[in-house]
Amino acid sequence: MIEVERTLTLQHPLPDVVAYLADFAHTEEWDPGTVSCRPARAGAAVAKGSEWQNVSEFRGRRTELLYRLVRFEDRRLTFVGRNRTATSTDDMTFGEEDGGTRLTYRARIEFRGVARLASPFLRKEFERLGDEVVRRMPEAVDGHLGAEGRPAR
């Protein structure tokens, strides 16, 4: 199992940040490994139990996972993605900080079968991806909510 944790501050109100990140389709904007992410049911409102078809690329290989929003709270979101070789959990906790939002992002990847043997060798690359999330997330949130904290038009 590989776990990566990062904490960052976003210059937008907590409810706006949570609403943006609750729609997992937005991972295309901030997750460097995501190639595409689409709701499993087009047009459905985001709620606990919502699902997304995610295509990710890692080390030149693409993989598909079905992600489900398993925890949808005012200050916490948890998504679990699965396929036959891995389970990926993205857990986000939120707090207010100086008019903005403090986000603690935890990603845990559990490989199954033969893929499990590669875990120790992949940790560094997942740490690098975590660093890239910290760089990209504020830009994505700003792009969606606007630099002044209002929805961008």
CATH number for position 129: 3.30.530.20
Distance CA 25, CA 38 (A): 5
Q: Rounded mean pLDDT of 113-121?
A: 65
Is 151 among the domain residues?
no
Q: Rounded mean pLDDT of 60-79?
A: 97
Range in 12-16, 44-48, 94-98, 119-123 with the lowest mean pLDDT: 119-123
Distance CA 22, CA 83 (A): 21
**pLDDT tens readout for residues 49-64:** 999 999 999 888 899 9
Is 152 among the domain residues?
no
The average confidence (pLDDT) of the chain is 91
Q: Read off φ and ψ for residue 125, nearest 5 degrees.
A: -70, -35
Considering its fold, how many domains does the chain have in total? 1
Amino acid letter for position 10? L
Which residue range forms the structural domain that includes residue 58?
Answer: 2-145
Is 98 among the domain residues?
yes
Is 135 among the domain residues?
yes
Is 81 among the domain residues?
yes
Is 44 among the domain residues?
yes
Is 36 among the domain residues?
yes
pLDDT at 16 over 90: yes
Is 62 among the domain residues?
yes
Q: Rounded mean pLDDT of 100-120?
A: 84
**pLDDT tens readout for residues 78-97:** 999 999 999 999 999 999 99
Structure tokens at 78: 């948890």
Rounded to two decimals, what is the model's pTM?
0.90
